Amino acid sequence: MSDGRRRPKLRVVEEGTEGSPYPKSSLWLRGAARVLDLAIAYGLRHLGGPAGLVMAFLYLLLADGFFSGQSVGKRLCGVKVIYLPHRIAARFRESVLRNAPLGLVVLLAMMPDETLPSGGRSGPGAGTIAFFAGAVLIGAIETWNVLRHPLGKRLGDAWADTQVIDAKDVQSDPVANRDEARAGERTPDQATLHSASRRAGARREG
Protein backbone atom coordinates (compact mmCIF):
# COMPACT_ATOMS: atom_id res chain seq x y z
CA MET A 1 0.00 0.00 0.00
CA SER A 2 1.35 3.38 -0.98
CA ASP A 3 0.06 6.55 0.59
CA GLY A 4 2.15 8.91 -1.56
CA ARG A 5 3.84 10.43 1.45
CA ARG A 6 7.55 10.51 1.92
CA ARG A 7 8.85 8.83 4.99
CA PRO A 8 11.23 10.99 7.03
CA LYS A 9 14.87 10.04 6.69
CA LEU A 10 16.35 8.56 9.82
CA ARG A 11 19.81 9.68 10.92
CA VAL A 12 21.96 7.56 13.17
CA VAL A 13 23.30 9.72 16.01
CA GLU A 14 26.09 8.55 18.23
CA GLU A 15 25.17 8.62 21.90
CA GLY A 16 26.39 11.85 23.48
CA THR A 17 26.41 13.91 20.28
CA GLU A 18 22.79 15.09 20.39
CA GLY A 19 22.43 18.84 20.01
CA SER A 20 25.74 19.44 18.27
CA PRO A 21 26.40 19.63 14.53
CA TYR A 22 30.17 19.92 15.06
CA PRO A 23 32.76 17.15 15.02
CA LYS A 24 35.22 16.54 17.81
CA SER A 25 38.06 19.05 17.86
CA SER A 26 41.70 18.10 17.52
CA LEU A 27 42.95 17.05 20.94
CA TRP A 28 46.49 18.14 20.01
CA LEU A 29 45.31 21.68 19.30
CA ARG A 30 43.27 21.75 22.50
CA GLY A 31 46.21 20.51 24.51
CA ALA A 32 48.55 23.10 23.00
CA ALA A 33 46.01 25.87 23.67
CA ARG A 34 45.67 24.78 27.30
CA VAL A 35 49.44 24.74 27.78
CA LEU A 36 49.68 28.28 26.41
CA ASP A 37 46.88 29.54 28.67
CA LEU A 38 48.44 27.89 31.71
CA ALA A 39 51.77 29.49 30.80
CA ILE A 40 50.06 32.90 30.67
CA ALA A 41 48.42 32.27 34.05
CA TYR A 42 51.78 31.19 35.46
CA GLY A 43 53.35 34.40 34.17
CA LEU A 44 50.60 36.50 35.71
CA ARG A 45 51.07 34.66 39.00
CA HIS A 46 54.77 35.49 39.22
CA LEU A 47 54.79 38.91 37.54
CA GLY A 48 51.68 40.32 39.18
CA GLY A 49 53.16 40.69 42.66
CA PRO A 50 50.77 40.26 45.57
CA ALA A 51 47.78 40.26 43.20
CA GLY A 52 49.37 37.74 40.84
CA LEU A 53 47.39 34.74 42.07
CA VAL A 54 44.11 36.64 41.74
CA MET A 55 45.07 37.74 38.20
CA ALA A 56 45.86 34.14 37.23
CA PHE A 57 42.54 33.00 38.73
CA LEU A 58 40.52 35.61 36.81
CA TYR A 59 42.36 34.91 33.57
CA LEU A 60 41.65 31.18 33.72
CA LEU A 61 37.97 31.82 34.45
CA LEU A 62 37.35 34.52 31.83
CA ALA A 63 39.85 33.58 29.11
CA ASP A 64 37.40 31.86 26.74
CA GLY A 65 35.25 35.00 26.50
CA PHE A 66 38.01 37.41 25.44
CA PHE A 67 38.05 36.85 21.66
CA SER A 68 34.57 35.58 20.77
CA GLY A 69 34.93 32.16 22.33
CA GLN A 70 38.70 32.08 22.21
CA SER A 71 41.33 32.55 24.88
CA VAL A 72 44.79 33.69 23.81
CA GLY A 73 45.91 30.06 23.56
CA LYS A 74 42.82 28.96 21.62
CA ARG A 75 43.16 31.87 19.22
CA LEU A 76 46.78 30.97 18.49
CA CYS A 77 45.93 27.28 18.03
CA GLY A 78 42.77 27.78 15.95
CA VAL A 79 40.15 26.28 18.27
CA LYS A 80 37.01 27.90 19.62
CA VAL A 81 34.35 27.43 22.30
CA ILE A 82 30.76 27.33 21.05
CA TYR A 83 27.61 27.71 23.16
CA LEU A 84 25.60 24.85 21.67
CA PRO A 85 21.96 25.90 22.35
CA HIS A 86 22.37 29.03 20.17
CA ARG A 87 25.46 27.92 18.19
CA ILE A 88 27.27 31.16 18.99
CA ALA A 89 30.69 31.92 20.42
CA ALA A 90 30.97 31.43 24.17
CA ARG A 91 30.64 34.55 26.30
CA PHE A 92 32.11 35.34 29.70
CA ARG A 93 29.23 33.51 31.42
CA GLU A 94 29.99 30.27 29.61
CA SER A 95 33.72 30.81 30.11
CA VAL A 96 33.30 31.05 33.89
CA LEU A 97 31.09 27.96 34.03
CA ARG A 98 33.31 25.74 31.86
CA ASN A 99 36.53 26.84 33.57
CA ALA A 100 35.20 26.58 37.13
CA PRO A 101 37.09 23.30 37.77
CA LEU A 102 40.38 25.02 36.86
CA GLY A 103 39.47 28.00 39.00
CA LEU A 104 38.93 25.65 41.92
CA VAL A 105 42.52 24.43 41.58
CA VAL A 106 43.80 28.01 41.82
CA LEU A 107 41.56 28.66 44.83
CA LEU A 108 43.20 25.71 46.58
CA ALA A 109 46.56 27.42 46.13
CA MET A 110 45.20 30.41 48.07
CA MET A 111 44.82 28.38 51.25
CA PRO A 112 46.80 30.01 54.08
CA ASP A 113 49.92 28.15 55.15
CA GLU A 114 50.09 26.93 58.71
CA THR A 115 52.56 28.67 60.97
CA LEU A 116 55.41 26.32 61.89
CA PRO A 117 56.74 26.32 65.46
CA SER A 118 60.17 27.83 65.94
CA GLY A 119 62.86 25.36 65.02
CA GLY A 120 60.46 23.27 62.94
CA ARG A 121 61.50 22.05 59.54
CA SER A 122 60.22 24.07 56.63
CA GLY A 123 58.37 22.34 53.83
CA PRO A 124 55.59 22.87 51.30
CA GLY A 125 52.68 24.83 52.70
CA ALA A 126 49.08 23.70 52.87
CA GLY A 127 48.18 25.79 49.81
CA THR A 128 50.93 24.24 47.72
CA ILE A 129 49.98 20.70 48.70
CA ALA A 130 46.27 21.35 48.06
CA PHE A 131 47.08 22.94 44.69
CA PHE A 132 49.05 19.97 43.38
CA ALA A 133 46.59 17.44 44.79
CA GLY A 134 43.67 19.28 43.20
CA ALA A 135 45.52 19.71 39.91
CA VAL A 136 46.21 15.97 39.69
CA LEU A 137 42.69 14.91 40.66
CA ILE A 138 40.70 17.45 38.65
CA GLY A 139 43.12 17.26 35.72
CA ALA A 140 42.74 13.48 35.57
CA ILE A 141 38.93 13.67 35.68
CA GLU A 142 38.74 16.35 32.99
CA THR A 143 41.26 14.59 30.74
CA TRP A 144 39.36 11.32 31.05
CA ASN A 145 36.10 13.02 30.09
CA VAL A 146 37.69 14.68 27.04
CA LEU A 147 39.15 11.39 25.81
CA ARG A 148 36.04 9.27 26.29
CA HIS A 149 33.33 11.73 25.21
CA PRO A 150 32.43 11.55 21.48
CA LEU A 151 32.54 15.37 21.25
CA GLY A 152 35.48 15.86 23.61
CA LYS A 153 33.32 17.56 26.25
CA ARG A 154 34.70 17.74 29.76
CA LEU A 155 32.86 18.40 33.02
CA GLY A 156 33.03 22.16 32.56
CA ASP A 157 31.49 21.86 29.08
CA ALA A 158 28.60 19.89 30.53
CA TRP A 159 27.96 22.69 33.04
CA ALA A 160 28.14 25.45 30.42
CA ASP A 161 26.57 23.46 27.53
CA THR A 162 29.59 24.24 25.36
CA GLN A 163 31.90 22.43 22.98
CA VAL A 164 35.42 23.16 21.79
CA ILE A 165 35.62 22.96 18.00
CA ASP A 166 38.14 23.72 15.28
CA ALA A 167 37.65 27.36 14.28
CA LYS A 168 37.36 26.40 10.61
CA ASP A 169 34.22 24.36 11.39
CA VAL A 170 32.29 27.39 12.62
CA GLN A 171 33.26 29.37 9.50
CA SER A 172 31.19 26.97 7.41
CA ASP A 173 28.20 27.04 9.77
CA PRO A 174 25.57 29.50 8.43
CA VAL A 175 23.72 29.67 11.76
CA ALA A 176 26.81 30.59 13.75
CA ASN A 177 27.94 33.08 11.13
CA ARG A 178 24.53 34.75 11.07
CA ASP A 179 24.34 35.04 14.85
CA GLU A 180 27.86 36.45 15.19
CA ALA A 181 27.40 38.92 12.35
CA ARG A 182 23.93 40.09 13.37
CA ALA A 183 25.20 42.82 15.68
CA GLY A 184 27.52 44.25 13.05
CA GLU A 185 24.99 44.24 10.25
CA ARG A 186 22.65 46.76 11.91
CA THR A 187 23.70 50.41 11.63
CA PRO A 188 22.49 53.11 14.08
CA ASP A 189 20.15 54.67 11.51
CA GLN A 190 18.70 51.35 10.38
CA ALA A 191 15.29 50.57 11.90
CA THR A 192 14.21 47.02 12.55
CA LEU A 193 10.82 45.78 11.40
CA HIS A 194 9.67 45.54 15.00
CA SER A 195 10.65 49.11 15.89
CA ALA A 196 9.15 50.48 12.66
CA SER A 197 5.82 48.77 13.35
CA ARG A 198 5.78 50.20 16.87
CA ARG A 199 6.33 53.73 15.56
CA ALA A 200 3.58 53.28 12.96
CA GLY A 201 1.18 52.10 15.67
CA ALA A 202 2.02 55.12 17.82
CA ARG A 203 1.31 57.49 14.94
CA ARG A 204 -2.09 55.87 14.32
CA GLU A 205 -3.02 56.16 18.00
CA GLY A 206 -1.95 59.82 18.03
> What is the predicted pLDDT for the residue at 14?
55
Residue 190 lies in a domain: no
Residue 193 lies in a domain: no
Nearest by Cα to 162 from 77, 70, 72: 70
Contact 156, 100 (CB under 8 A): yes
Average pLDDT of the segment spanning 13-34: 82
Residue 14 lies in a domain: no
Distance CA 75, CA 69 (A): 9
**Residue 62 exposure: Cα atoms within 13 Å on the Cβ side:** 7
DSSP β-bridge partners for residue 80: 165
Whether residue 19 is predicted with pLDDT greater than 60 in this model: the reply is yes
What pTM was estimated for this model as a whole?
0.71
Residue 163 lies in a domain: yes
> What is the predicted pLDDT for the residue at 82?
95
Residue 20 lies in a domain: no
DSSP β-bridge partners for residue 166: 79
Distance CA 161, CA 166 (A): 17
Residue 34 lies in a domain: yes
Residue 101 lies in a domain: yes
* CA dist 205 → 165, 199, 201, 202 (Å): 51, 10, 6, 5
Instruction: Measure the CA angle with vertex 189, ends 188 and 193; round to 5°.
Output: 100
What domain range is 161 assigned to?
27-113+125-169
pLDDT tens sequence across 114-134: 654 555 556 677 778 888 888
Domain count, the chain: 1
Helices (H) and strands (E) in the chain, counts: 10, 3
Residue 11 lies in a domain: no
